[in-house]
C-alpha cells in the first residue's frame, strides 16, 4: 500500500468490480527478463543527481510530471511498469492504477493506460506471471466514490487510513476485472507476487490486527504468517522467493499497544515508528534488521538477495526528509543512497539489477511526487 509520510498527501489503497472467472491453479512460468539498453538521449535528468548519489546512479530520468505518483513495479519481462497515481491533469481525485513502458512511452505529453475503471480508491498493483494480468486493491465495492481522507488535526499525530472496503482484484491490461482474490470483512491490500510466480503476500485485518498472509495466485490456500501485535505491511519476496522483507510497528508498552488498538478501531494506523523485518516465506525465523527509530519503510530486495534498500527519516528531527538507504540482510553496513531535503521513497530494482525505480519530489513544484528511473552501478 502506498502512503507518503508527513510531507505529502496520503496515497491509496483498493478498488474494482469483479466478474469472477475460473483460473488455473498452476501459474505460468515467469518470463525471462529482456535486456534493454536505452541510448544516451534517454537519460535527461542527470542534473538532478546529487554528488553523493553518483556512487550508485550512473544516469537518471524523470518519468512522470505532476501529481502524486508512486509504487511503480516491473513486469516479469522487464518491459512495463504498473503504478498508482493521483494526477488532477488526468481527471482523478484519488489514486488509480496505470501501466506503461518506461523506455518508450512519453508520460510528459501522454496519459498512460488506466487499469482501474470501476471507481473507488486503488492501490498496490503488481504484475502476475505472464504479464497479461495485474492485481491491485480497490474500495469500489464499498462505494464507487473516493473514500474520505481523515482530517488532519493541528498538533495531532500523523495517521494513515485503513479502509475496510479494500479487497484485492485481478485485472487484464484492458482494465477488465477478471477475478476477486479476497472476500473477507475488513482491510485486504498491499499484495505483491513472488518472482517464482506461485504465491502472493498481502496485509489483512481479518483477524482484528494488521498481519501478513500468503496465498496462491488464484486466491486459494491462505496462510497467516505474522501474529505479533502491530502493523505488518509492504511485504516483498526475495529474488528466489524463499524470504520476505516488510515494514512493521511493534508497540512496546501497554500504553503504546492501547493507542495502536484504539486507532485501529477507527480505521487508522500511525506510521511514524516502523522498522524493517525479514523472514522465511512462511513467516518463520523473523528478524528485525533495522533499529534506527522513526519511520523505516518501503523496503525492497536488491537482486543479489543480500541487501535491502528502503526509505527512512531516522536522521530527521522534523519528520522529513526521507532518503534511501541500503543495508545487509544481517542488519550491518548501513549505506546512504540518496540525498534530498524532501522525499525519496518506494525504491524498486529491476530484476536484472540494472535500474532502480523510485519516487521523489526532486525537480518538481508544490511537493508533487514523480517517478524516476536511475541506471544503477554497483
Tell me the per-residue pLDDT of 226-242, one tens digit each, with 9 for 90 and over. Answer: 999 999 999 999 999 99
Domain boundaries, the chain: 42-376
Grid coordinates belonging to 159: 495517521
User: Span 191-218, mean pLDDT?
Assistant: 97
Residue 347 CA to residue 191 CA, distance in Å, equals: 16
Cell of 106: 512519453
CA distances from 338 to 53, 159, 303, 362 (A): 5, 26, 19, 11
**Angle, CA 336 vertex, CA 100 and CA 64 arms, to 5°:** 20
End-to-end alpha-carbon separation of the chain, Å?
Answer: 29
State the Rg of the chain over Cα.
Answer: 19
In terms of DSSP H, where are the helices of the chain? 254-265
Cβ contact 116:63 at 8 Å: no
Biggest distance spanned by C-alpha atoms of the chain: 57
247 or 159: which leads in pLDDT: 247
SS3 for 8?
Answer: coil
Q: Report the 10 Å Cβ neighbour count for 308.
A: 24
Residue 336 has pLDDT above 80, yes or no: yes
CA atoms within 13 Å, Cβ hemisphere of 143: 6
Range with the lowest mean pLDDT among 13-27, 52-66, 292-306? 13-27
* Sequential DSSP letters for 41-82: GG---GGG--TGGGGTEEEEEE---SSEEEEEEE-TTSS-EE
Tallying the residues shown for the chain, one arrives at 378
Residues 6+ apart with CB under 8 A from 106: none
Q: How confident is the model at residue 36 (pLDDT cuts 50, 70, 90)?
A: low
Cβ distance 3 to 271 under 8 Å? yes
Q: Above pLDDT 90, what percent of the chain?
A: 81
What is the per-residue pLDDT for 152? 75
Q: What is the pLDDT of residue 3?
A: 53
Strands of the sheet with 188-193, listed across from one edge: 188-193, 199-204, 211-216, 223-224
- Measured CA to CA, the distance from residue 163 to residue 14 in angstroms comes to 9
Instruction: Say if residue 26 is preceded by a cis peptide, omega within 30 of 0.
Output: no
pLDDT, residue 319, reads 79
Contact indicator for 168, 14 with CB cutoff of 8 Å: yes
Residue 78 has pLDDT above 80, yes or no: yes
Q: Which CATH number fits domain 42-376: 2.120.10.30, 2.20.25.10, 1.10.8.10, 1.10.357.10?
A: 2.120.10.30
User: How many CB atoms lie under 10 A from the CB of residue 279?
Assistant: 18
Q: Is the pLDDT of residue 123 over 50?
A: yes
Residue 303 has pLDDT above 90, yes or no: yes
Task: Tell if the pTM clears 0.85, that is, is over it.
Answer: yes
- 120 exposed, middle or buried (CB, 10 Å; 0-12, 13-18, 19+)? buried
Averaged pLDDT score across all residues of the chain: 90
φ, ψ of residue 319 in degrees (nearest 5): 95, -25
Q: Beta partners for 171?
A: 134, 177
Distance CA 107, CA 254 (A): 49
Residue 22 has pLDDT above 50, yes or no: no
- Pick from 86, 97, 145, 149: nearest CA to 120: 145
The 10s digit of each residue's pLDDT in 130-155 is 999 999 999 999 999 999 988 876 56
The dihedrals phi and psi of 351, each to the nearest 5 degrees, come to -65, -30
Residue 341 has a CB neighbour count (10 Å cut-off) of: 9
Q: What's the angle, vertex CA 9, arms to CA 189 and CA 294, rounded to 5?
A: 75
pLDDT for res 52: 96
Amino acid at each position: 500500500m502506498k502512503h507518503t509520510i508527513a510531507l505529502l498527501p496520503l496515497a491509496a489503497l483498493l478498488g474494482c468490480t469483479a466478474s469472477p472467472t475460473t483460473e488455473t491453479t498452476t501459474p505460468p512460468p515467469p518470463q525471462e527478463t529482456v535486456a534493454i539498453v536505452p541510448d544516451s538521449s534517454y537519460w535527461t535528468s542527470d542534473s538532478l543527481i546529487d554528488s553523493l548519489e553518483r556512487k550508485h546512479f550512473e544516469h537518471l530520468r524523470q518519468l512522470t510530471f505532476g501529481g502524486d505518483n508512486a509504487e511503480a513495479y516491473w513486469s516479469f519481462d522487464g518491459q512495463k511498469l504498473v503504478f498508482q497515481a493521483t494526477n488532477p491533469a488526468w481527471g482523478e481525485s484519488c489514486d488509480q492504477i496505470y501501466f506503461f513502458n518506461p523506455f518508450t512511452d512519453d508520460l510528459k505529453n501522454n496519459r498512460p493506460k488506466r487499469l482501474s475503471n470501476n471507481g473507488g480508491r486503488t492501490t498496490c498493483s503488481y504484475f502476475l506471471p505472464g504479464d497479461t494480468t495485474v492485481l491491485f486493491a480497490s474500495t469500489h465495492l464499498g462505494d464507487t466514490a473516493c473514500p474520505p481522507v481523515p482530517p488532519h488535526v493541528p498538533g495531532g499525530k500523523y495517521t494513515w487510513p485503513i479502509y475496510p472496503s479494500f479487497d484485492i482484484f485481478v485485472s487484464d491490461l484492458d482494465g477488465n476485472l477478471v477475478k476477486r482474490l479476497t472476500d473477507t470483512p475488513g482491510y485486504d491490500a498491499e499484495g505483491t507476487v513472488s518472482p517464482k510466480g506461485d504465491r502472493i503476500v498481502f496485509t489483512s485485518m481479518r483477524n482484528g490486527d494488521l498481519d501478513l498472509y500468503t496465498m496462491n495466485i488464484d486466491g486459494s490456500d491462505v496462510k497467516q504468517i505474522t501474529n505479533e501485535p502491530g502493523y505488518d505491511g509492504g511485504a516483498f519476496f526475495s529474488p528466489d522467493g524463499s524470504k520476505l522483507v516488510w515494514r512493521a510497528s511493534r508497540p512496546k508498552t501497554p500504553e503504546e499497544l492501547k493507542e495502536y488498538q484504539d486507532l485501529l478501531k477507527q480505521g487508522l494506523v500511525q506510521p511514524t515508528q516502523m522498522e524493517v523485518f525479514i523472514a522465511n516465506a512462511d513467516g518463520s525465523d523473523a528478524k528485525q534488521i533495522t533499529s534506527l527509530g522513526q519511520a523505516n519503510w518501503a523496503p525492497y530486495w536488491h537482486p543479489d538477495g543480500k541487501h535491502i534498500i528502503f526509505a527512512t527519516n531516522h536522521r530527521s528531527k522534523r519528520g522529513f526528509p526521507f532518503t534511501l538507504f541500503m543495508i545487509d540482510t544481517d542488519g550491518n553496513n548501513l549505506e546512504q543512497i540518496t540525498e534530498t531535503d524532501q522525499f525519496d521513497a518506494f525504491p524498486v530494482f529491476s530484476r536484472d539489477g540494472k535500474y532502480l525505480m523510485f519516487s521523489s519530489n526532486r525537480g518538481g513544484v508544490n511537493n508533487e511526487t514523480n517517478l524516476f528511473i536511475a541506471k544503477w552501478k554497483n
